[in-house]
Structure 1
Amino acid sequence: MKKKNQSPPVKIRKAPFITIFVFLVLGAVGISLGEPSRVLEQATRICLSCIGIG
């Protein structure tokens, strides 16, 4: 006996997974190169110059 309301197989989109993977790889490369500390250093310098201390 055949089912009348058989749904088609669900297609999984690959683009979101590829995009997330690329961003994770780029984030890991940035962290390994020490970018977070450099960004924090520059942000501190800019903030201190904005308020007239640096």
Structure 2
Amino acid sequence: MHVHSVACRTDREPECSRFHYEKQLLEKMVRMEFNMERLQQRLDIVSEPFAKLNVM
């Protein structure tokens, strides 16, 4: 008689729930928005001297 055992793998990666995925996506979007605002501020600072040249 030969017995086969079925081992349960406990080293699998944890499953991501939909809530977890959406939370990570939202956090990423908030970081992107923050970075875009910072880039816009930097662009405004750099562009200011050129805007003054066009007025004169």
* TM-score normalised according to structure 2 size: 0.42
Q: Which has the higher helix share?
A: 2
* TM-score normalised according to structure 1 size: 0.43
Higher-RCO chain (CA-CA 8 Å, sequence separation at least 6):
1
